[in-house]
């Protein structure tokens, strides 16, 4: 009987899997983080077209899932070769009371 490892099957790594702890975006607000990569158009229990953001703080990596248009718009404009990069995400409020995120 053959063993699975003897079959030399290459299992493709899914972009949205990022094997690490899942946090809320709130856990990284106003902290310097290194964004390692993103997975776009991810379907979750909360809906479609979400983004998974893979990041690290110090030597610990984690991820958060977001549907925030400002975060998605900014990160979709970062070229793949420009990852990883360091930034700070902050939450602001407009005059109507709606929250939005800024990168700095």
What total of structural domains would you count in the chain? 1
pLDDT the model gives residue 8:
83
Which tokens is 8 given? 């030399």
Q: Using CA atoms, how far apart are residues 28 and 46, in angstroms rounded to an integer?
A: 21
Residue 70's domain comprises 15-103
- Return the C-alpha torsion angle 99, 74, 72, 88, nearest 10: -60
What is the model's pTM? 0.82
Q: For residue 87, give the nearest of 14, 32, 5 by alpha carbon.
A: 32
Section 9-28 average pLDDT: 81
Task: Tell me if 8 is assigned to some domain.
Answer: no
Which pLDDT band holds residue 16 (cuts at 50, 70, 90)? low
pLDDT (tens digit, 9 = 90+) per residue, 38-85? 999 999 899 999 999 999 999 999 999 999 999 999 999 999 999 999
């Amino acid at each position: 009987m053959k063993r699975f490892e003897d079959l030399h099957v290459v299992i493709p790594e899914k972009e949205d899997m990022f094997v690490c702890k899942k946090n809320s975006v709130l856990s990284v607000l106003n902290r310097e983080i290194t964004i390692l990569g993103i997975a776009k158009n991810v379907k979750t229990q909360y809906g479609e077209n979400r983004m998974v953001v893979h990041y690290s703080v110090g030597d610990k990596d984690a991820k958060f899932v977001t549907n925030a248009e400002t975060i998605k718009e900014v990160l979709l404009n970062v070229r793949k070769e420009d990852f990883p990069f360091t930034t700070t995400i902050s939450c602001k409020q407009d005059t109507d009371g709606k929250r939005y995120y800024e990168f700095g």
